Amino acid sequence: MSAGLIGHEVRALLRARRTRLAVGLMLYAVLGAVFLLARPPAAVAAAATEWFHASDPAFALFLFVWTDLALNKLAAILGVVLAGGVVREDQARGLLPLLWAKPITPARYFLGKLAAAAIVFTMLLGGAALIGLLVFPWQVAGFRAGPFLVVSGVHLVGALFAVVLSATVAVLIPRRLTAMLTSLMILLMLVGSAFIGFYNPAWADYAALNPFYHAVWLLGHVDGLTLAHVARPLTIILVTHAIVVAVGVVAVRRIEA
Amino acid sequence: MTAAIELDALTKTYGELVAVDRISFTVPEGQIFGFMGHNGAGKTTTIRMLLGLTRPSGGGARVLGRDVVADSLAVRGLCGFLPASYGLPRDMSALDFLAYVGAMFGLPRAEATARGRALLELFDLGPVAGKALGGFSTGMAQKVGLAQALIGRPRVLFLDEPTSGLDPLGRHHFLTHIRDLARDQGVTVLFSTHILGDVESICEQVAVMHHGRLLACGALQALKAERRAATMDDLYLDLVQGAA
């Protein structure tokens, strides 16, 4: 799919009512992080101190609240909202007979839709991080922009799994609502189990397969972040994304216009 | 005359059901070719195979010399298609939709928008170009359907039951546009319909399908003379009842 076509898809998605709702959700994430940090649950504060061994436990707690409590669950919902109806939505509206008769393969059509959803998702999560960059220095004692951006960046790449999975499940399961609920259930399970490697270090290797784990894993290295700390999770995440996208590409070829 | 569309024993089966049974015919370039048959005769399946949307079970076909299976993307790049049944994105404007379809043909944004605007003007939809498609009447939506089929400047146009659902005036205007396209731009039109009057008014050659089989193919006047049929209705009934 050409850049021009992806541009059309992005513009259409940005105009959609559900995207406006998503903007509201992301603003809520920024404000929610501030409120949560004002009176963090004791168990969360204790876990952050115990797990991350940071020189500044308050900053580690903030990053924990930001990535997990504020962003993770919203990212799961946002992925389903933006990509949970990919291709199936057009099929339900009777658009596929028109559009697939054009010089474009179903696979490229799917990839274009997925790319557009990923771009809008990035704009929303990236936008939330940028707003956070303006708000948090005034609200969070000892706020450091560098680690915040690195953790937010890795989290964003990991959270894109919500888009990738939702799009792939959408083309695997013909019924749109069933597909969306399935994606949401899987994503919320992944978000919920992102800390399994911290609860039990013996499971840390398995936890690495969870795209939502890696940003949290980085929190344990905030004091001395290196390129290697970022490269490893990004590699794992991108390989996971590629495998799931490939499944989607195979699945979309079986859909009849 | 060069062939725009060539079918050679084209076949499609779904399990035991033979939807299209070894049909062969040729459509000359620049003609409006009537493709007739009742609902379920196999017309839509044939068109879908010609566009590479459905894989043939046997035989083959070429559009403008390109194989419809091996070279389906190139075929679709040269063709326009208006399906019998389709939807339009209700929340998108007519112009945005045409620009989007234009982008599928690789047209730059400005060119796709200009082409979309010109087509909407041609079909008297200029004043509503920016309006959401959800508010369009059946006739207006069908014009947008035809416009999207034309946005890539097709050399072959597949129209599947394009006049069903149109009122008499809308039908007249639609057929006039089709006739103009073939006459002025040399576009080959495969016009699939079960409305016999439409075929009689704009087609020179026809193919008649019945239960997946090709009953007759050739120049309309010659077929009528051969069957001693005064009208298209008489010819069709004679062919179909003879096949029953």
What tokens were used for A207?
A: 């936890």
Please indicate, yes or no, whether residues B72 and B191 belong to a single structural domain of this protein: yes
Please indicate, yes or no, whether residues B164 and B71 belong to a single structural domain of this protein: yes
Please indicate, yes or no, whether residues B110 and B80 belong to a single structural domain of this protein: no
Query: Which of B99, B104, B107 has its CB closest to that of A99?
Result: B104
Query: Strand B205-210 vs strand B32-36: parallel, antiparallel, or unpaired?
Result: parallel
Tell me A84's DSSP state.
Answer: T
Q: What φ, ψ does residue A173 adopt, rounded to 5°?
A: -110, 120
CB-based contact, A254 to chain B, within 8 Å: no
Query: Which of B76, B87, B148 has its CB closest to that of A94?
Result: B87
Indicate yes or no: CB of B86 within 8 angstroms of CB of A2.
Answer: no
Please indicate, yes or no, whether residues B73 and B190 belong to a single structural domain of this protein: yes
Residue B214 belongs to some domain of the structure: yes
Indicate yes or no: CB of A8 within 8 angstroms of CB of B90.
Answer: no
CA-nearest residue of chain B to A12?
Answer: B92
Please indicate, yes or no, whether residues B78 and B166 belong to a single structural domain of this protein: yes
Distance CA A111, CA A120 (A): 14
Please indicate, yes or no, whether residues B111 and B24 belong to a single structural domain of this protein: no
Distance CA A96, CA A115 (A): 18
Interface-testing mutation among B104, B158, B190, B192, with chain A (most A C-beta atoms within 10 A): B104
Q: Show which of B70, B104, B135 is a domain's final residue.
A: B135
Indicate yes or no: CB of A98 within 8 angstroms of CB of B51.
Answer: no
What is the dihedral angle through the alpha carbons of B174, B176, B182, B185, rounded to the nearest 10 degrees? -100
Please indicate, yes or no, whether residues B96 and B182 belong to a single structural domain of this protein: no
What tokens were used for B210?
A: 């019945």
Residue B147 belongs to some domain of the structure: no
Please indicate, yes or no, whether residues B230 and B165 belong to a single structural domain of this protein: yes
pLDDT of chain B along its 244 residues, tens only?
679 999 999 999 999 999 999 999 999 999 999 999 988 899 999 999 999 999 999 999 999 999 999 999 999 999 999 999 999 999 899 999 999 999 999 999 999 999 999 999 988 999 999 999 999 998 899 999 999 999 999 999 999 998 887 888 888 888 998 999 999 999 999 999 888 888 988 999 999 999 999 999 999 999 999 989 888 889 999 998 887 6
Residue B142 belongs to some domain of the structure: no
Residue B145 belongs to some domain of the structure: no
What is the dihedral angle through the alpha carbons of A183, A185, A190, A193, rounded to the nearest 10 degrees? 180
A6: closest CA among A174, A99, A118, A132? A118
Q: How much of chain A, in percent, has pLDDT values that exceed 70?
A: 100
CA-nearest residue of chain A to B54?
Answer: A256
pLDDT greater at residue A142 or residue B9: B9
Residue A36: which pLDDT band, with cuts at 50, 70 and 90? confident
Please indicate, yes or no, whether residues B56 and B159 belong to a single structural domain of this protein: yes
Residue B146 belongs to some domain of the structure: no
Predicted pLDDT at B60:
96
What DSSP assignment string belongs to A2-24? Answer: -HHHHHHHHHHHHHSHHHHHHHH
Please indicate, yes or no, whether residues B128 and B235 belong to a single structural domain of this protein: no
Q: In 10 A of CB A115, how many CB atoms?
A: 18
Q: What's the structural domain count of chain B?
A: 2
Q: How far is B78 from chain A (nearest CA, A)?
A: 9
Query: Which of B79, B86, B106 has its CB closest to that of A2?
Result: B106
For the segment A63-93, what is each residue's pLDDT rounded down to a tens digit?
A: 888 888 778 888 999 999 999 999 999 999 9
Q: Beta partners for B62?
A: B6, B67
Residue with tokens 């784990």: A213
Q: Domain containing B103: what range?
A: 89-135
B9: region left, alpha or beta (phi > 0 left; psi from -120 to 50 alpha):
left
Indicate yes or no: CB of B92 within 8 angstroms of CB of A12.
Answer: yes
B190: closest CA among B225, B228, B159, B214? B159
Interface-testing mutation among B14, B86, B138, B153, with chain A (most A C-beta atoms within 10 A): B86
CA-nearest residue of chain B to A1?
Answer: B104
Residue B26 belongs to some domain of the structure: yes
In the stretch 177-236 of chain A, residues with CB closer than 8 A to chain B read none
Please indicate, yes or no, whether residues B195 and B116 belong to a single structural domain of this protein: no
Please indicate, yes or no, whether residues B100 and B35 belong to a single structural domain of this protein: no
Predicted pLDDT at B232:
86
Distance CA A135, CA A37 (A): 13
Environment class of residue A55 by beta-carbon count within 10 Å: exposed (0-12), middle (13-18) or buried (19+)? exposed
Indicate yes or no: CB of B103 within 8 angstroms of CB of A15.
Answer: no
Chain A residues near residue B53 by CB distance under 8 angstroms: 97, 100-101, 256-257
Residue B140 belongs to some domain of the structure: no
CA-nearest residue of chain A to B87?
Answer: A94
Residue B143 belongs to some domain of the structure: no
- Residues across chain B: 244
**8 Å CB contact between A5 and A114:** no
End-to-end CA distance of chain A: 18
Residues 6+ apart with CB under 8 A from B217: B25, B205, B206, B207, B208
